[in-house]
Amino acid sequence: MGALAGRPIRRGWLQRIHAKLLHPQTEHRFEVVASQASQLGPAGVLAYDISRSVNLARWGYQAGYLTGSETWKLVMASARLAQSRFDSWDAYGRSFLAGRDFWGGASAASRASFEREVHGLLTRPDGAWRVQPWREDLSATPVRAADTRA
């Protein structure tokens, strides 16, 4: 007999899982996936995760937890991952917006604001995503060797 033989089955964990699945935020996440899965492809909402990792590295540097070199190594690893999983800034932008919806359950006004920003990055003459080519060779991109902090 197994180790649980003779023990009463506690159903509290099942009730917690059930409640979590019925939570409005979880329902929203299912809706995001269902409505956008065919447009996103296998990378799904990875762009949002990549953007968050870059943001966390930046905050780590600003808080003094990371050196400049450590930060750039993390940022460049994220950039290389993005290039390997997406084929354009447009695909990256769609994934980012879907990821933001998935994790944040953004309001319509917030979503519209982020859509405008992504659109601007893609279309403005000085938009960063328009200026920076997607297929830039990152293998030779130098990482800062010197840090301003010892």
Domain ranges of the chain: 24-131
Q: What is the pTM for the complete model shown?
A: 0.72
Q: What per-residue confidence (pLDDT) applies to 9?
A: 52
Q: What per-residue confidence (pLDDT) applies to 150?
A: 40
Q: What per-residue confidence (pLDDT) applies to 137?
A: 86
Question: What string of pLDDT tens digits covers the 150 residues of the chain?
Answer: 445 455 555 566 655 665 565 555 566 666 766 666 677 778 888 999 999 999 999 999 999 999 998 999 899 999 999 999 999 999 999 999 988 887 776 677 878 889 999 999 999 999 999 999 999 888 776 665 444 444
Q: What per-residue confidence (pLDDT) applies to 1?
A: 42
Query: What is the distance between the alpha carbons of residues 83 and 109, in angstroms, rounded to a whole number?
Result: 30
